[in-house]
A and B are shown apart, each in its own frame.
Chain A
Amino acid sequence: MTGDPVRAGPGRPAWDPNDVTGPAARGRAAEGSGIAMTDTQTSLPGRLAAVPGGEAETAVRADALSKRYGDVTAVREVSFSIRRGEVFAFLGPNGAGKTTTVRMLCTLARPSAGRASVAGFDVARQPRAVRRRIGLVFQEQTLDDRLTAEQNLRFHAVLYHVPRAQVRQRIDRALELVALADRRHDLVSTFSGGMARRLEIARGMLHTPAVLFLDEPTVGLDPQTRALVWEDVLRMRREEQVTIFLTTHYMDEAEYADRLAIIDYGRIVATGTPDELKRQVGADTVELVTSDDAAAARRLAAAGFRVRSGEEHLVVFAEDGEGLVPGLIEAAGVRVRSVHVHRPTLDDVFLHYTGRQIRDEPAGRALPMMARARTARR
C-alpha cells in the first residue's frame, strides 16, 4: 500500500463540526489534490543552506533532552538542531512525545534531563527570554471564541509587549499572512475549524517571534484546509524569515519540511531532509510482471541489474527507476505485462526505522475534550 505518493488524512472526527467539508470529503482519496506548493519550497532550502551552520545560525538546539512522567518516559534523550529560517518537522505517531518536546522547548515543561536552547536562550535558565521570542500554537484551540479575530490578536499583542504604535500594523500584517483580513471583526465562534487554526497561526506570528512552534497544526483538518495551512506556513517562512518547528503525524506533510526528525516512543530514530531519509532507506524499486518471470530474472541479472524474484513479480532495485524502464523491458526479453516504479516515501522511511507504519489510530486525548467543549457551548 506504500505506493501512494500522498496519503490521506484519516477519517477521524473533525474538531469542528461546523467545518464546511463533511467527513466524507475527508476520506482516503481526496488527497493527492490537496497540497501543491512546490516552487517556494524547493528554492528556499538551497538559499538557506548556503549559510554556514554556525552557532548564531542555530535557532533551536536540543541536547539529550528527556522528560519522564513517573514511570513513563515521554521523551528520551532527543538531540537535534534547527538552523534559522528552517522549517523543521517532528514526525511521529500519537504518543510519540512530540507535544512533550514542544512543551519543553517552550518552557512549559521542565526537562528531566538534557538541555535545550531556543533563540540562543536556555529553556531552563532563561524561560522568560525564551517565551518572548517564540510563537506557539497548541494542538488544542486556545482562542476566545466570544471575541472577534481582531480582539484576540489585540489581546495577544498586549501579552507579548508589542509596542502600542505597532499593534494595528502587526494585526493587519498577521491577518494578511493567513488571508483572514476580511473576517477581522467577526466573532471567532463563527469561524470554521480551519479558519480558527489559521487565526491561531497568525496570532503566533503577531509578535514576530524568532521561532514559531506549531503542534499538529493540521490535525483534523480536511485536505484543502491543510493545504492552506501549509501555504500560510511557507509564506511566513518566506516573507518573515521565521524559523518553524512543527509536529505532525501526517507523512505527506513532512515532505514539505526542509528537514525532519522521526520520533517514535520518545526517541528520534532518524533526522535529515526528506530526500536524505528516503535515500537512506534505499533505491527505487521497479516491479515487473512478465509472461515468464524466471527467464526474465535470469536475463536481467545477466545484464547487470539487481533483481529479486517475488511471488507474483520481479523486483529490480535502481537509483533512477523511471529512467530505467525502457532498458528493463528490452533486457527482460519476454513479454512485460506491467511495470510499477516505486520511489521510497516517508512511509517507507518510517517503516524502515520503526518496523511499523504510522497508524492512524484514534486521535489523542485532546480531540474528545474539544468535541465536548464545543458541544457544551455556552
Chain B
Amino acid sequence: MAAIALGQPGGRLADERESLREDLRTTGMVWEREIIRFFRTRARILSSFIQPVLFLFVLGYGMGSLVGATAGFDFKKFLFPGIVAMTVMSTAISSAISIVWDREFGFLREMLVAPVSRTALVSGKTLGGASIATVQGTIMLALAPLIGVHLTWLVVLQVIGIELLMAVALTAFGVFVASHIQRMEGFSVVMQLLLFPMLFLSGALFPLSGLPGWLTVLTRLNPLTYAVAPLRQVVFAAQHVPPIAAARFSAGVTLFGYTLPDSVNIGITCVFAAVFLALAVTGFGAAE
C-alpha cells in the first residue's frame, strides 16, 4: 500500500506552502482542460466570430451611412473597439456555459469531490475562459486595416491587457450564473436576458453621451461599460480623431459630469472582477 502519508513532518507554514503549490497546480490543470476542449471544438471557434463580424459590417456600414462621418472619422471606427469587446464578452460567457455541461455530464462532481479548494477550481475555469476570450478578441484586431483603424504594437498590448481583465470579470460572472443553473435551457434564457442588455447598454455599439436620463443610469450601472471605455480610448489614442469627432463619438464615461480617466475605469473593472470571482467561488457547486 503506497503513498498514505499519515501526518507529515514540517510545520504549518510548510503545509500552507505545499497546499498553495497544489492549488496552483490544480488551477493550471483546469486551465489546460479548458484550452484542450476549446481547440477540440473548431466549430465553436468559428461561430464565436460570426456574430461580431456581422455586427461590425451590418451595423458599421448600415448605421454608418445614416450617421455619416465627422471630419473624416466614421461610425465604423467608433464601433470597432466595441466589437472587439463584444467578441471577448460572448466568448467569455460561452466558456462559462461549459460548467452547466460539466454538471450535466457529471464531470463537475469529479472536480467537487477532489481534495482541492474551490478557489483553485474557479480560478482555473475563469482563467481558461478568459484566455480563450482574450485570444479571440485579439484575433478580431486583424480586421482593423479593413475598417481603417490604425494599430501599433503598444496599442495591441494595451488592448490585450484590458481584454484579459474584462474577460476575467465576465467569465467569473458567467461561472457565477452558471453555478446556480441546473439546466442548459435555463442558462440560455438567463444569458439572453442578461447578455444582450449588457452588451447594448455598455457603450460598445453607440456613444454614451447625450442619452436620456434613464438610459444613462442603466449604462452607468453596467459593469461592462467601464471595460469598454478604456478599450476604446486606447484604440482611439492611436487614431487621428479630430476634436469635433471626439465630441460626437465620445469614448469615455461620464459620471456626475466628470469624465472618468482610464485608470478609474480599469480600477472599477478590477473591483467588478474581484467581486464576480468571489461570487463565483462561493457559488461554485452550490447547486450540487
* Chain A residue with Cβ nearest B108: A142
Check: A353 CB closer than 8 A to any chain B CB: no
Cβ–Cβ contact A158 & B29, under 8 A: yes
Given the interface contacts A159-B116, A207-B3, does A145 sit within 8 Å of B29 by beta carbon?
no
Within 8 A of B (CB), among A176-228: 207-208, 210
| Binary contact readout B21-47 vs A (1 if CB under 8 angstroms, 0 otherwise) | 010011011000100110011000000
Closest to A142 in B: B106
Kindly provide the distance from the CB of B10 to the nearest chain A CB, expressed in whole angstroms: 15
Q: Check A106/B113 contact, CB under 8 A, given A147-B33, A159-B29.
A: yes
Q: Which of B4, B26, B37, B40 contacts A158 (CB 8 A)?
A: B26
- Can you name the residue of chain A whose Cβ is closest to the Cβ of B19? A161
Contact of B1 among A154, A156, A159, A208 (CB under 8 A): A208
Q: Given A142-B106, A144-B107, verify A208-B4 contact (CB < 8 Å).
A: yes
Q: Does A241 contact B (CB under 8 A)?
A: yes
Shortest C-beta distance, A298 to chain B (Å), equals: 61
Q: B26 contacts A208, CB within 8 Å?
A: no
The reply to whether B1 and A210 form a contact with Cβ atoms under 8 Å apart is yes
Shortest Cβ gap from A44 to chain B (Å): 15
Q: Does A138 contact B (CB under 8 A)?
A: yes
By a CB distance below 8 angstroms, the chain A residues around B29 are: 154-155, 158-159
- Whether the Cβ atoms of A161 and B22 lie closer than 8 Å is yes
Say yes or no: is A132 at the interface (Cβ < 8 Å to chain B).
yes
- Residues of B near A241 (CB, < 8 A) are 1
Chain A 129-187 residues near chain B, CB threshold 8 A:
131-133, 136, 138, 140-147, 151, 154-156, 158-161
B185 to chain A, nearest CB (A): 10
| B115 interface neighbour in A131, A142, A240, A242, Cβ under 8 Å | A131
Could you write out 10 A-B pairs with CB less than 8 Å apart?
A131-B113, A131-B114, A131-B115, A142-B107, A144-B102, A156-B114, A158-B25, A161-B22, A208-B4, A210-B1
Chain B interface residue number, banded: 20 to 34
From the candidates A136, A138, A146, A159, name the one contacting B26 in the complex (CB within 8 A): A159
Q: Is A337 an interface residue (CB 8 A)?
A: no
Nearest residue (CB) in A for B107 is: A144
Q: Closest 5 interchain pairs by CB?
A: A159-B114, A142-B106, A158-B29, A131-B115, A142-B110
For B110, list chain A residues within 8 Å (CB): 142-144, 155-156, 159
Chain B minimum-CB-distance residue to A144: B107
- Which chain B residues lie closer than 8 Å to A159 at the CB level? 26, 29, 110-111, 114-116
Chain B nearest CB from A155 CB (Å) reads 6
**Chain B contacts for A376, CB-based, 8 A:** 104, 184
Known: A158-B25, A160-B114. A144 touches B105 (CB 8 A): yes
Per-position contact with B for A84-127: 1 when CB-CB < 8 Å, else 0? 00000000000000000000001010000000000110000000
A378 CB-CB contact with B under 8 Å: yes
> What mask results when residues 270 to 293 of chain A are scored 1 for a CB within 8 Å of chain B, else 0?
000000000000000000000000
Contact of A147 among B1, B6, B37, B101 (CB under 8 A): B37
Q: Which residues of A contact B184 (CB under 8 A)?
A: 376
Complex Cα distance A158/B124, Å?
13
Which residues on B sit within 8 Å (CB–CB) of A156? 110, 114
Select B36's contact among A106, A143, A147, A208, beta carbons within 8 Å.
A147
Contact of B105 (CB < 8 Å), options: A108, A158, A373 = A373
Interface residues on A, range: 35 or more
> Looking across the interface, which residue of chain A has its beta carbon closest to that of B103?
A373
Smallest Cβ distance from A259 to chain B, in angstroms?
20
Asked whether any CB of chain B lies closer than 8 Å to the CB of A28, the reply is no
- Does B2 sit at the interface, judged by CB under 8 A? yes
Residues of B within 8 A of A (CB): 1-4, 6, 22, 25-26, 28-29, 33, 36-37, 40-41, 101-102, 104-107, 109-111, 113-116, 184
Flag if B33 contacts A378 (CB, 8 Å): no
Bound: A106/B110 CA distance, A: 13
- Using known A-B contacts A146-B37, A208-B3, A210-B4, determine if residue A138 contacts B115 with beta carbons closer than 8 Å: no
Q: Are B3 and A151 within 8 A (Cβ)?
A: no
Contacts of B111 in A (CB 8 A): 159
Contact between A136 and B4, CB atoms less than 8 A apart: no
Min CB distance A356 to B, Å, is: 31
Asked whether A128 and B115 contact (CB < 8 A) given A141-B106, A142-B107, A373-B105, the answer is yes
Shortest CB distance B142–A (Å): 28
Using Cβ atoms and an 8 Å threshold, which residues of chain A touch B115? 128, 131-132, 159-161
Q: Are B104 and A373 in contact (CB under 8 A)?
A: yes
Most central of A133, A156, A161, A373 by chain B CB within 10 Å: A161
Is B113 a contact partner of A136 (Cβ separation < 8 A)? Answer: yes
Shortest CB–CB separation between residue B195 and chain A, in angstroms? 20
- Contacts of B37 on A, CB cut-off 8 Å? 144, 146-147
Query: Chain B residues with Cβ under 8 A from A128's Cβ?
Result: 115
Q: Which of A128, A140, A378 is the most central at the interface, judged by chain B CB atoms within 10 Å of its CB? A: A378
User: How far apart are the CA atoms of A144 and B125 in the complex, in Å?
Assistant: 15
Chain A residues closer than 8 Å to B1, beta-carbon distance: 208, 210, 240-242
Residues of B within 8 A of A131 (CB): 113-115
Which of A136, A144, A160, A207 gathers the greatest number of chain B CB atoms within 10 Å? A144
Q: Select from chain B the residue with minimum beta-carbon distance to A160.
A: B114
A138 contacts across to B, CB distance below 8 A: 106, 109
| Shortest distance between the CB of A117 and any CB in chain B (Å) | 13
Question: A378 near B101 (CB under 8 angstroms)?
Answer: yes
Q: How far is the CA of A358 from the CA of B22 in the complex (A)?
A: 45
Give the docked Cα–Cα distance between A241 and B6 (Å).
18
Query: Across the interface, do A133 and B4 meet the contact criterion of CB distance under 8 Å?
Result: yes
Contact A140 B114 (CB under 8 A): no
Q: Identify the closest chain B residue to A207 (Cβ).
A: B3
Given contacts A131-B115, A154-B29, A140 and B3 within 8 Å (CB-CB): no
Question: How near does chain B come to A328, taking the closest CB pair, in angstroms?
Answer: 51
> Which partner residue on chain A sits nearest B101 by CB separation?
A378
Q: Which residues of A contact B104 (CB under 8 A)?
A: 373, 376
A358-378 to B contact mask, C-beta < 8 Å, 1/0: 000000000000000100101
